[in-house]
Every structure is written in C-alpha cells, then in structure tokens.
Structure 1
C-alpha cells in the first residue's frame, strides 16, 4: 500500500491539471458566448440550436468534472478507490460525442453553402455519422465492463478497435472540413483587395478553429494505448476546444447578419453630376451569402460657388472636368476603387484634376 501512494499522488496532481485546463477553457467559452449574444436574434434557428446545445454540453462537462473532484476530495476523502472510478468517464464520452457531431454538422453545412454543391454533404456527412456512432459504441463498451480505470480494459481488442476507428474518423472529418472550407474560400477570391483581405481572414479563422480540435484528436489516438492519462486529458478538453472554435467562427462577423461590412466606391461614367455609388457588401456565415445594399449620393458644384471661382471656371466648366474624369477612368475603375485612391474620398470628381497653372491663367485672363 505504501508503494502505491506516489502513484495516487501523481494521479491527484494530474486531476488538478485537468481541472485547471477545463476551467481555463470554460472561461474562453463564456467570453465568446457573451460576444455571440448579439447574433442570437439574426441567426437561423439551426445555428442557434447548435450553439446552445454545444455550450450546454461544455457546461455539463465542467459540472461533471467538479462533481468528480468533489467525490474524490470531499465525499470519499481518504478512499483511493474514488480516483479510479469509471462511471464519470462513460458519461463524459457520451456528451463529448454529441457535442462533436453538432459542431461538425455546422461546419459541413457551411461548406455545403459555400460550394453550393452536394459533394461536402456526400463525403463528410457519412464520415461524421460513423464517427459519432463509433464514439457511442466505445462508451457503451467501456460502460459494460468499466468499473475502474484499469489499463487492461483499454488494451482489450474490441475497445482498441472501436477507439481507433472513432479517433481516425474524427481526424478524417476534421481534416476534410478544414480542406473543404479553405478551398471554397480560396476559390471565391475576386482579385479585389478588400474582398480578398476578408477571405484571407476567414481562412485564418478556419484554421484557428479546426486545427486545435484536429491536434487533440491526433494526440488522443497516439496516447490511447501508450499513456492513457494524457489521452483522458485530451478527452477532457476536446469538447471545449470544439465549442470555442465554433463561437470564434461565428463571432468573426462585425455586425449581426453579416460577417463584415466593407464600404467600396465605384464611378458611374454615364452620370455627369459627379455621383458615386456606395456599396455595403457583407457575407453571412463563412462568406457564403453575399448581400449588397446601394446608396447613391449625388454632389453637384453650385453655379456661383466659391469653389468654382477658385478653380477659375464656371459651373459648366466644372461639369466638363467631372465628365472628362469619369470617362477617362471608366475602364479602370471598379466597385473597390476606394483601396486605390485611399480613404480620403472627395465627392466632387473635378477636385482630382485641378486645372494647370497655364489653364488657370487663361481662365482668369478670359
């Protein structure tokens, strides 16, 4: 009994580390939930259901872990048997499988809407369903004979096969989702600076949301038979990593109903009044839906304005400059012309091409 005390001490230290990581990631989830609150009324019911259920699973995991630690250090204090109870791990695996399949369903739906094609559903859907089914099977197998965290149970052939199948399918599903979304965003690049910059940000967010979950699944597969303590640690943070990535992806939008709001300008070559078209382009979800709202602001130079006198010409001459400017730039301008000329955009096109000194002299002499 004395020789086994260091092992129990190490086990207690490992439980403390797991509890710290669990509470730390729970704080990240709570912060992202507060940020997501503004999108609840504008998001679809399916997305809100996935978010609420995932957060509930995450909170359930934390509550279960606190009950587990209370059982160890309060209710069953002095009994080292409570360190090795497996009933908590069984329910933990079930809740983890539910949360994982919900988050993966959200990403598959985003990939389907991004590509506007059925192939993400056909390829990734069955893999996700099989991963969920294998996770439930391994939880039931462990619950059938698991009363203690005995390493010999982990080494049983059927448990190993179910564990490797579940982890392998999760890895394939996460990698496939990441590839499908990144490929879809990269394919939709337009060549305009503002749009491509936003798509680049979405690609980075996709990697930030998916790579940690993929990394945790790989570690769980590696240490399942060699170091079960590390595998259990990965399982404890698995749900919170998925939920945090989901909320970060949804909170990337700058305002409810869209992912970002990019203001861009375009010349209208047929308009002689110096008007410009202001477009508000927003993408919903992962850049899937493109919504455009246009507002036209027309600015004309008054006939007897001081600006006309300073330029040395009357209103008709100013209108001629505006027309020449529009026609000379009609072929090169586009709706993202703001990034070419900078943010200081003047509504009067004649100010961009002031008359030369010689023309000014002629205008004043005339």
Structure 2
C-alpha cells in the first residue's frame, strides 16, 4: 500500500491513473465528495467537543465508578479522539499538502485503517451494553454466547476490511472488500438491535406497579432509545449506502462518525445516573411515600394547622385493700391537685389541650 503511494509520487500515477485521469474520474461527483469531506470533519469535531465535556462530567462526579467501567470509558474515548485527529490529518493531506490535486483522492491507505480504529473504539462500548443486557435477562448464558460471537465476528470483519481494502491500488477497488465490510457492519447492526431489544425487554419486565419505580423504568427505556438508536441507525445507513455505491466517499462520512456516536451514547448513559440520583433525592425529600398502583400527584404533604388535642386525665386508686378499707369515705377526686376545674393549655401552633378532672373517675 505505501509502496504504491511512493511509486505513484515518483511516476505521477496511482493504479494506472494520472492527475488528468483522476480529475476526469471525479469531475461529475467533485462537489458531492467535497461536501462529504467537509461535513464529516465538521460533525466529527463537534462530537469530539461534546465528548470532552462528557468526559469532564464523568470523571468529576463519578470518579469512584467501577474500575472496568472507567477503563472502557477511557479506552473508547481515547480511540475516538485519535480517530478525530487522524481524520484532521487526512483532510489536511488532501486540502493543504495536495491542494488542487485529485490524484491523492484515489489513495486507500488513509481510509483502509479506519475499520480497525472503529472496532477498537466501538466493540468495548458494545461489550458494556451487552453485559447490561445479560444481567437484565437474568444472566442468560445463551444470550451472552450469541453476543460474544457477534462482537468477535464484527472485530474479524473490521480487520478483514482493513486488510482487503488496503491491498487495492485505488479507491475504485473498494467493492472487492464487500464481503468483509458487509459482515462487519451487518453484524455490528445486528448486535446493537439484539442488545437494545434485550435491555428494553428486561426493563419492561422490571415494572412492579409502584409509581416511583415505574416512572424510573419509563425514563430508562427512553434513555435506552436515545443512547442506542443513533449509532444503530448510523451503522445501518453505512451498510445500505456502501451496498449501492461502494466507491463513494459518503460511506467515509458514516465511518468517521461511528466511533463518536457510540462513545457519546455511552457517556450519555453513564452521566444520566447523576440526574437520576438528583431527581430521586428531591422526590424523596418533598413527597410522601408511594402507595402501590397510585399516583403521587395528590399525595403531597399539607400543613397541619389548627389541630386540637383533647386530653382527659383519669386517676385510678390502686392502693392495697387494707389501705382502702382504713380510708373509707375518702374521695378519689381529692388526689387531683387542680380540683374539679377544666384547664386549657395553648401551644405555639395554636392547638389547645384540655386537662379535665372528672369526679366519677374509674
């Protein structure tokens, strides 16, 4: 691959194409591929900025998270940022080092490495969600085996795409890597669909009838859609586009966004735990406990003003029989220090307690 590029620079040809032939080959689609490259670098850079902010939030508030979760975040985020920098170097090579030349657009050495880079960033993220699906499905061993097989196949397809596509002399030979690339993207999409479906099924089965729990599960279901569907649709769009126009650079746009979409989705899921914890604490401090199957809208606490407490005190003579026999005629009411009158005590909140002495005490 590199020898082909060196030979092309020496002879002015790549894969039998010289500058004039390359310009003629790209003439009809020149505006389209230029828009694709500019759009991809803008979107990738924007997502990298979002990723950096998410990383700051994650390591600020969740630095005590499980070590393997932090390792996945650090690994995938690092490779995503590497891909962004790599893509910037590629764009600089096309528009700065070789400005006005079309022959470098035929080189495959830059795009051929992207599948392996994507796999290094994406598969750990998929493994994280696959483990969550495994737990939600009651540690289903069959599901775990299927997901491991799919992720391993996706890794093999990415490596195969890099090897086969990298052996081609020009971009127009991209169709040769079709089986490996379709295997990689299709298996990636299939794994995403299975993982998302299992997570949703596990969450829906977790509903208990308690209002607070069910509302939390509903939010988690919505979160799963928001985090999982964008990268899934992106992978699906990539395989559909490549099957129609394999040598078009529109596929390179989808490929450059893939790692960013997965990593941003992962951190979106992890950072949402902060919001869930905050809302849960506010709910617990402001509302009454939940009643099974009932909403808490009308069960908020109300002030307890104007409560009156009536207290009646009775004195029971429990003296021994001999003492009672000697004290015949002694009235039990004499033991009351406040006589036979009723006294009221007013408390700070305006409530009133009455102390009543009854002459017919029992």
Match of 1:137 among 148, 154, 160: 160
Offset of 1:62 from its aligned partner? 0.8
TM-score, length-normalised on structure 2? Answer: 0.71
Q: 2:35 aligns with which of 7, 10, 13?
A: 13
CA–CA distance in structure 1, aligned partners of residues 39 and 258 of structure 2? 15
Go from structure 1 to structure 2 and tell me whether the alpha carbon gap of 1:212 and 1:74 turns closer, same or farther (over 3 Å shift): same
Find the aligned partners of 1:341 and 1:11 in 2 and give their Cα distance: 59
Larger RCO (CA within 8 A; separation ≥ 6):
2
- Provide the C-alpha distance between the structure 1 equivalents of 2:267 and 2:93, rounded to a whole number of angstroms: 32
Which runs of structure 2 are paired with 1:37-76 in the superposition (5 Å)? Answer: 37-76=59-98
Query: Residue by residue, what CA displacement relative to the aligned partner does 1:239-295 show, whole Å, maximum 9, x if unpaired?
Result: 100011000000111279x69635677xxxxxxxxxxx999xxxxxxxxxxxxxxxx
**Secondary structure of 1:254 counterpart:** helix
Q: Does 1:232 align with 2:252?
A: yes
2:273 match: secondary structure: coil
Distance change >3 Å, CA 140–CA 345, structure 1 → 2: farther
1:162 maps to 2:172: no
Matched, 1:30 2:25: no
Contact conserved, 1:87 with 1:147, CA < 8 A, in 2?
Answer: no
Alignment of 1:116-195 (within 5 A): 116-119=138-141, 120-143=143-166, 145-150=167-172, 153-156=173-176, 159-195=177-213
Q: Which residue of 2 aligns with 1:339?
A: 296
TM superposition shift of 1:36: 1.1
**Alpha-carbon distance change, 124 to 259 in structure 1, aligned in 2, over 3 angstroms:** farther
Q: Quick one: structure 1 residues 22 and 353, their matched pair in 2 at CA, closer, same or farther if it must change by over 3 Å? A: same
The one-character-per-residue Cα deviations of 1:315-359 (angstroms, maximum 9, x if unpaired) are xxxxxxxxxxxxxxxxxx75898926544366xxxx499579xxx
| Cα displacement (A) at 1:23 | 1.2
1:108–1:177 CA contact under 8 A, matched in 2: yes
1:86-120 deviation digits (Å, cap 9, x = unpaired): 11112211110111111100001112233331333
RMSD: 3.4
In structure 2, relative to structure 1, the CA distance for the partners of 1:340 and 1:20 (3 Å cut) is: closer
Distance of 1:102 and 1:242 partners within structure 2: 10
Q: Is the 8 A contact 2:211 2:291 kept in 1?
A: no
- 1:221 lines up with 2:221 in the alignment: no
Does structure 1 conserve the Cα–Cα contact (< 8 Å) formed by 2:210 and 2:291?
A: no
Distance in 2 between residues matched to 1:191 and 1:137, nearest whole Å: 49
- The question of whether the paired residues in 2 share the 8 Å contact of 1:111 and 1:177 is answered with yes
TM-score, L = length of structure 1? 0.70
Give the structure 2 partner of residue 209 of structure 1.
227
Question: Which blocks of at least 5 consecutive residues in structure 1 are unaligned?
Answer: 266-276, 280-332, 357-362
1:108–1:239: structure 2 CA closer, same or farther, 3 Å change rule?
same
Q: Aligned equivalents of 2:27 and 2:157: distance in 1?
A: 36
Q: Which residue of 2 aligns with 1:290?
A: none
Note closer, same or farther for the CA distance 1:42–1:260 as it changes in structure 2 (3 Å cut). Answer: farther
Aligned to 2:263: 243
Kept in 2: contact 1:194–1:336 (CA 8 A)? no
> 1:307 is matched with which residue?
none
Larger radius of gyration: 2
**1:101–1:132 CA contact under 8 A, matched in 2:** yes
Unmatched 5+ residue regions in structure 2? Answer: 1-19, 310-352, 357-362
Query: How far apart are 1:9 and its partner, in Å?
Result: 4.5
Cα distance 1:260–1:129, how it changes in 2: closer, same or farther (>3 A)? farther
When residues 67 and 118 of structure 1 are mapped into structure 2, their CA distance, relative to the original with a 3 A threshold, is: same
